Amino acid sequence: MVSRRPTITSVPRSPLLLPSALLCLALAACSGGVHGTPGGAGVRDPYFPKAGNGGYDVGHYGLTLAYDPDGGRLTGTAVITARATQDLTAFDLDLKGLHVDTVTVEGRQARWNRAGQELTVRPHDDLKKGETFSTTVRYSGRPETLTDPDGSEEGWLRTADGALALGEPVGSMAWFPGNDHPSDKASYDITVTVPQGLQAVSNGELKSETTKNGRTTFAWHSPEPMASYVATVAVGHYTITRSTLSDGLPVYTAVDPTQVEASRTVLAKLPEIMEWESYNFGPYPFSSIGAIVDRPADSGYALETQTRPVFPGAPDTATLVHELAHQWYGDSVTPRTWRDMWLNEGFATYAEWLWAEDYGGRTAQQTFDRLYAGSGDSDLWAFPPAEPSSVAHISDRPVYDRGAMVLQKIRQKVGDDTFYDIIQGWAAAHRHGNADTAEFTAYVEKKAPGKDFATIWKDWLYGDGKPSRP
């Protein structure tokens, strides 16, 4: 660490210069020596107030990782390119566990300290608002598996033959330092070195694969903005399949050898599902697609990791439809806060309803009616989809099923032509961006100006309990 002191040409010999004033000068903490303020630790997310950080916006992450599955040790270098959104004397990065070796900002050693998940960085020189700067963090250790408030596991999950990194909602800070909140998206280059014979799979496109001295390095590039929670790394033995869709989109699937036969039929539907979703939701927003299928015991849930969703064992068709739909709703149009989770899960659940409707199953209305009429479904009405009752419930059933019911109510109100204009237009209007529930309701009202949505918003989106059905 490099201590930073102001240049002091003279110090008056005066009894008025008290020890506290001397300390202020030495630390450059007086207003005369510092022109900015520290960035905030957290972005005041209503459910994860410590997540993310204020004062800067990340444009790119360059992550260079090496992993040893036998010892469970990860060595990493993160080069984070960001733009200051205010004058900064210090800023925070989210990093849970792991040992920080060095931190530099713009090539100069920076002071830093740790407190919980906060890595506070004090650059050698203050950063001006609008300035683009590069921070390099070298770190190492055994990354942690984190337990969410709902009891599920995320972060760095050790598997039978490697590891799996899952980040929703705040697990990415277990394997790289960053601004771990969905409101700050960036492009990524993720390079992973593993023992020869293993694969390392990540988001985006594989740019190179090289082997030297018994180690293989995989370099992955994600050019489109990506939220930290949908970044992933999967290390292990995989059967790799490469292909292209009819429009030339590259497809890269990695399947654990124990899951190849069970996955074959459903993964063969990926091209058909992608064509159907592009027709219904608009142009696909990324430059590649695929899937990672690990063993069922490796994780307890599927996740919409960008361009390459992760599945715990062979998925069924509905789950594949769901996670691929997230590429539009969740990955490209990303929630501004975790309160807006229904904009991810309600849309992806509704995609399942639409697929069933088009492929010989129940209509979306029949699915809606069945849910509404269900007995013993008090969990469905436990809270409104736009206001989960606590951090432990942001992935509960009302967010998924009742969120989808809100979309069906909108479809009932406006008719199919306008409804598809709405869901396609919403994906296009916020492509590669962030949005919240208030923006969605305003968008719907703008697209259907002659309709009154007050009851839908009041009873179905924000209302407590089971709505009275008109």
Higher pLDDT, 18 or 281: 281
Phi and psi at residue 274, to the nearest 5°: -65, -40
405-461 pLDDT tens trace: 999 999 999 999 999 999 999 999 999 999 999 999 999 999 999 999 999 999 999
Q: Are 275 and 245 spatial neighbours (Cβ–Cβ below 8 Å)?
A: yes
Q: What is the DSSP string of 104-146?
A: EETTEE-EEEEETTEEEEE-SS-B-TT-EEEEEEEEEE-PPEE
- Identify the pLDDT of residue 24: 33
Contacts of 399 (CB under 8 A, 6+ apart): 341, 342, 345, 346, 385, 388, 393
* Distance from C-alpha of 67 to C-alpha of 236, rounded to nearest angstrom: 11
pLDDT at 377 over 60: yes
Q: Are 111 and 150 spatial neighbours (Cβ–Cβ below 8 Å)?
A: no
Task: Return the number of other C-beta atoms located less than 10 Å from residue 400's C-beta.
Answer: 22
* β-strand pairing of 215-226 with 250-255: unpaired
pLDDT at 64 over 60: yes
Contacts of 374 (CB under 8 A, 6+ apart): 380
Q: How far is CA 136 from the centre of its chain?
A: 21
Higher pLDDT, 22 or 108: 108
Amino acid at 87: D
- Identify the pLDDT of residue 29: 34
Quick one: pLDDT band at residue 375, thresholds 50, 70, 90?
Answer: confident
Quick one: pLDDT band at residue 18, thresholds 50, 70, 90?
Answer: very low
End-to-end CA distance of the chain: 66
Q: Which long-range contacts (CB under 8 A, 24 or more apart) does 151-154 make?
A: 152/300, 152/301, 152/395, 153/299, 153/300
pLDDT at 50 over 80: yes
Residue-averaged pLDDT of the chain: 92
253-298 pLDDT tens trace: 999 999 999 999 999 999 999 999 999 999 999 999 999 999 999 9
Q: For the residues 132-147, what does the mean pLDDT come to?
A: 98
240-255 pLDDT tens trace: 999 999 999 999 999 9
The burial of 402, by beta-carbon neighbours within 10 Å (0-12 exposed, 13-18 middle, 19 or more buried), is given as: buried
∠ CA(216), CA(222), CA(225), 5° rounding? 150
Q: Are 65 and 140 spatial neighbours (Cβ–Cβ below 8 Å)?
A: no
